[in-house]
Amino acid sequence: MDNRSPPAKFLNLWPTLLMNDQLPDAQTPNRLLVEEIEQRDAAESNMTTTYRNHNFFESEQPAIGWLRECINQAVIRYLKQTAVDYPLEWHLQGWPNINRFGDYHNLHNHPRAWLSGTYYVAVLSETEPLPGRSDRTPGAISFFHPRPQANMTAIRHDPQVDPEHRVQPAARHDPSVARIPASPSASQSVPEAADFDLF
């Protein structure tokens, strides 16, 4: 008679799928996006904080249309990765902002959004060294575990429990490829083309 228990089963429940994409041939659209965003910023001093007043993607400006189509294609690739095999409709809402040296976004979520993302038009190839704590990473974007209690059980280097995922990519030498995120220096600002949500 065998009294051994059956082998344990391990389930990877409620995973969070993140997508990091690069847009090829982005040099010309990015230049036009920078011009458009800087013009909007000059005309509206609080452009970054009044993001709900306008939907960036409703513009007929060609570079914004290009970005809108790139994001829609990325959503389709994301859906395929999740094994969603039925048609979906979505609404794309976006807003531009400019992060200057010292600017940051507080930890936040995007309520009522099914999928959210950020596209950076410019990436600086070098950052100035900052005094103080060594764990500061200017320009990085951090993603945190969506369940707040996960922070209470975090174990360093455990990919199933570590509540933060920080992305700090280096700039590529190919100027036609846009990357995320940007790293502003003290003397430059980085136009961020759009944060976007899908509803």
The answer as to whether 63 is a domain residue is: yes
* Domain assignment of residue 20, yes or no: no
35 within some domain = yes
Phi, psi of 141 (to 5 degrees): -120, 130
Give yes or no for residue 164 having a pLDDT over 80: no
**What mean pLDDT, rounded, does the chain reach?**
76
**Nearest-CA neighbor of 138 among 93, 188, 103, 173?**
103
Q: What is the reported pLDDT for 28? A: 93
Residue 66 has a pLDDT of: 95
Considering the domain boundaries, does residue 14 fall inside one?
no
Structure tokens at 53: 């007043």
1 found inside a domain = no
What residues form DSSP beta bridges with 95? 195
Residue 121 lies in a domain: yes
Cα–Cα distance measured from residue 29 to residue 64, given in angstroms and rounded to the nearest whole number: 8
pLDDT tens for each residue of 38-94: 999 899 888 877 777 889 999 999 999 999 999 999 999 999 998 888 888 999 999
Domain that holds residue 95: 27-128+135-198
User: Is residue 145 in some structural domain?
Assistant: yes
| Total domains, the chain | 1
Strands, E, within 68-140: which ranges? 92-99, 115-119
Judge whether 4 lies within some domain: no
